[in-house]
A and B are shown apart, each in its own frame.
Chain A
Amino acid sequence: MAIQANFSAMLASTRMRLLTISRYPGQLVTDMIVPIVLAAMPILLGRAGGAANAEAVFKANTGTSNYVAYMLIGSSAFSIVSNAFWHMAYWLRREQELGTLETLYQVPTHRIWIAAGTALYSSLRAVSTALIAYWLGCLIMRVNPFQGDIALALLFIGVGLLPLYSLTLLFGAVVLKIKEANALVGLMQWGVSFLMGIYFPIAIFPPLVKALALLFPPTWMTNGVRSALLGVGFFFGAWYKDLAVLWAFMMVAPWLGVWVFTRTEVSIRRNEGMGQF
């Protein structure tokens, strides 16, 4: 099938999902509120301990005294990661439950293009709501949202998205295999968030957990954004070195994701078929 036709199918899939979500504005509002509330928990706990002392201890631990922005960046990044897993896993699970997944395998467009359409929709929704949540949260908690190198922060988010959505393909393969999404996504989103240091620097982890955390692209994305905006320090000391690691992820992760996903598909089709759920 011509690449132009595949792109058209991908964009149609994105458009359909954007149209659907536009009918549920409450969900979009929730997407914006959740990161602010999640960040508010540790922020208010910190403020309760006496602002000056809390700031000093926080700075010693993280490299910045701006704990409001630090937590908001973490919760907004969490929202992007969490949405990526939810949207991709639920797309597959819902197609399975509605009985339309088997039909998808009979159309000339490969599933990867439909998955790419879902990923495009998901990233548009997740990134835009996360950015609004960050800016809104900063305004509510009286912190300047326009500090630091905003362009570099956006670059880290942009480069980090492809490896992130490649990870969701690996996860999609698991959903296809064990035919369960809800519980798995719940565990996965918190597991990844823990490893990527949603509210804390990964330096506090023991060496083995830290090494595991560094294998996750979202860890580099989150630290890159924090370093660009708050100057907490890049893992390799310079922004281009950290960005190079994300580029390396970007080169490897999609191939790995597609390979695992298609292998799982083939195995399922050879056995019970895609219609089973």
Chain B
Amino acid sequence: MQRTNSPHSVSLSSFLSTFLAMVRKELLIMARYPVNFVVSFGQMFLTVSIFTLAGRLFYVPPAEQSGLSNGSNPSGIVVYGFILFIFLSDTLWTIGYNVRNEQVQGTLEQLYLSPASKFANLVARVTNTLVWTGLLSIAGGALMAALIGRLPFENPLLGLYLFVLALMGTFGVGFAFAALTLYIKETAQTLANLLQFAFLVLCANFFPFAALPPFLRFISRLIPLAYAVDAFRSALMGFPEGFPELAPFRIEFWIVTVFGLAMPVLGYYLYRAAERQARKEGSLSSY
């Protein structure tokens, strides 16, 4: 048997090995359902078309409805908000609700009996979200831009920084939701739906925050993800007049940075706490 002097290198290689095995397992499952694969693209195109056509009714007069673009359009607000929303939605389902699936399938307890890293297990699910949702959001963004007009694209590096931090924070929300799933079990499906729609309104992914009634805008100001949406699209639109809407950009920048760095740690901490509790109570495999 091979021996090593460095326990850290062993744990790192074991972490990587677990991580890659979990990524492979998730990709394998995904590849075995080609109908899901194709359908999710079709569904996304239809959803985008429906909301885009609805938006056009307010901005494009009947005579111009057959045209593809229009000067006064909200494309930047809608497209960049859509990209962050699709990541949030997929994170809630693929990280949070996936834990529930493992529970129902009876494989969650088995995972905890193995010496595999629990962190690698969670992060592997993030990787698939990044790949698959990334492709979906690029395709969806391109379709929306084609339907509702030229897409503003300023400050790409700043936009990338904000996007990465927003994603990290979103994954942290996913970890926290996975923790909650261990407690609430079947209700997680309903809650994921509700959370998804609540974030859709409160983070104003498809419209400016100015359209929200004042009391909802007040709640939006309590959600870090709302600042991420506002800062991300304001930066990519080149800070047009009135943007960002929730706070001065400098403040939003720091909120997004802290959210992106702290939320994954907090989310993972909550997940481990929920998992420990479930193991103590013996409820890991009960559903």
B-side contacts of A60, CB under 8 Å: 61-62
Is B59 within 8 A of A57, CB to CB? Answer: yes
Chain A at the B interface: SS class: helix
A-side contacts of B65, CB under 8 Å: 61, 204
Bound-state Cα–Cα, A111 to B59, Å = 50
- A-facing mask of B55-88, CB < 8 A → 1, else 0? 1111111100100000010100110000000000
Is A26 within 8 A of B187, CB to CB? Answer: yes
Instruction: List CB contacts (< 8 Å) of B206-226 with chain A.
Output: 206-208, 210-212
**Beta-carbon nearest neighbor of A205 in chain B:** B53
Is B206 within 8 A of A44, CB to CB? Answer: yes
A-side contacts of B197, CB under 8 Å: 33-34, 37
Chain B at the A interface: SS class: helix
Choose among B49, B62, B74, B187 the residue that contacts A48 (Cβ–Cβ < 8 A).
B74
Is B193 within 8 A of A30, CB to CB? Answer: yes
A184-B39 CB under 8 A given contacts A199-B53, A204-B65: yes
* A58 close to B (CB within 8 Å): yes
Q: Shortest beta-carbon distance, B22 to chain A, in Å? A: 23
Binds A, one of B40-48, B152-160, B174-182: B40-48
Per the CB 8 Å criterion, the residue count for chain B at the interface is 42
Question: Looking at chain A, what size class is its interface with the partner chain?
Answer: 35 or more
Is B46 within 8 A of A44, CB to CB? Answer: no
The winner among A26, A67, A190 for most chain B CB atoms within 10 A is: A190
Q: Shortest beta-carbon distance, A103 to chain B, in Å? A: 22
Q: Shortest beta-carbon distance, B57 to chain A, in Å? A: 5
Choose among B51, B78, B194 the residue that contacts A33 (Cβ–Cβ < 8 A).
B194
A180-B54 CB under 8 A given contacts A44-B207, A45-B206, A45-B211: no
User: In the complex, given contacts A42-B57, A57-B59, what are 18 additional A-B residue pairs having Cβ atoms less than 8 angstroms apart?
Assistant: A24-B190, A26-B194, A34-B197, A37-B200, A42-B54, A45-B206, A47-B211, A48-B77, A48-B208, A48-B210, A60-B62, A61-B62, A71-B54, A184-B35, A187-B42, A187-B46, A190-B43, A198-B50
Chain B residues at the A interface, C-beta cutoff of 8 Å: 33, 35-36, 39-40, 42-43, 46-47, 49-51, 53-62, 65, 72, 74, 77-78, 187, 190-191, 193-194, 197, 200-201, 204, 206-208, 210-212
A-B contact pairs, 15 of them (CB 8 A): A27-B190, A41-B51, A41-B54, A41-B206, A42-B55, A42-B57, A44-B204, A45-B54, A45-B74, A45-B211, A54-B58, A60-B62, A186-B40, A190-B43, A204-B53
